[in-house]
Amino acid sequence: VDVKRYKVLNLEKKKYHHGDLPGQLIEAVRQLIERDGPDDFKVADAARLAGVSTAAPYRHFANRADLVRHVVIAAMGRMKEGMAQAASSHRAGDPGRVIALGRSYVEFASQEPGMFQVMFSGTSEHVHDPELKALGDETLKVVQLVVAEHLGIEIDAHEARLRAYALWCFVHGHSFLHIDSKLPEQFTDEIEDELLRLVGDAILPERT
């Protein structure tokens, strides 16, 4: 793999002290995960991409897993941010709101497929990290809130939770199938739209 083709992130005149190496390593890993696949990036590549020696990362991260953890936290933040924004760009009653929320999720997954897999890769270590769990829960909360408002019921109502989870499953599954290019042939953007609307409507029926 030709790393040299990637421009070194640290563009300014090469200083001995780096400025924000942790941040740039995280960004480097983000890029490498997309380039090489969920778990195939090399710490050394990340270092090179950030323009430092292969030993430098260990001044800031205990080990590879620790680095990944920080990368995932950053990604979760981005995702939650995107969803919160989608939700806040529609009024509470707006039927397009749920669609926008779902689309935001799917979009994240297709823009950062590698990262998406890292975030939801089952038996991976970081599943039980409390910080990550908290972030995940907050994101789910966003969905639950939107659903509850749509249905005009309490956020903690059984119905709200159930339907929110159903929607989550759907976008999650679609995201994965999309990433794995397991979707049926001729799956155009229009069909995706139709799909989102169909499911949104089915699970959160229009209030009349």
| 102 is a site residue for a second copy (CB under 8 A) | no
The alpha carbons of the chain give a radius of gyration, in whole angstroms, of: 20
- One-letter amino acid of 20: D
| 65 is a site residue for a second copy (CB under 8 A) | no
| Structural element, H or E, at residue 193 | helix 189-203
Q: Which of a second copy, DNA, none does residue 15 bind (CB under 5 to 8 Å by kind)?
A: DNA
- Both tokens of residue 112? 């950062």
| 16 is a site residue for DNA (CB under 7 A) | yes
Site track for a second copy across 116-155, x = CB under 8 A = -x--xxxx---x--------x---x---------------
- CA gap 136, 131 in Å, rounded: 9
Site track for DNA across 40-69, x = CB under 7 A = --xxx--x---xxxxxx-xxx--xxx----
Q: Which stretch binds DNA (CB under 7 A): 18-26, 97-105, 132-140, 200-208?
A: 18-26
Q: Write the CB contacts of 194 (distance below 8 Å, at least 6 apart in sequence).
A: none
Q: Which of DNA, a second copy, none does residue 70 bind (CB under 5 to 8 Å by kind)?
A: none
Other C-beta atoms within 10 Å of 104: how many? 21
With vertex at residue 35, the alpha carbon angle to CA 58 and CA 83, rounded to the nearest 5 degrees, is 90
| 108 is a site residue for a second copy (CB under 8 A) | no
Site track for a second copy across 14-53, x = CB under 8 A = -----------------------xxx--------------
Other C-beta atoms within 10 Å of 31: how many? 16
- CA gap 172, 155 in Å, rounded: 21
Residues in touch with a second copy (CB under 8 A): 37-39, 113-114, 117, 120-123, 127, 136, 140, 161-163, 165-166, 168-177, 179-184, 191, 194-195, 198-199, 202-203
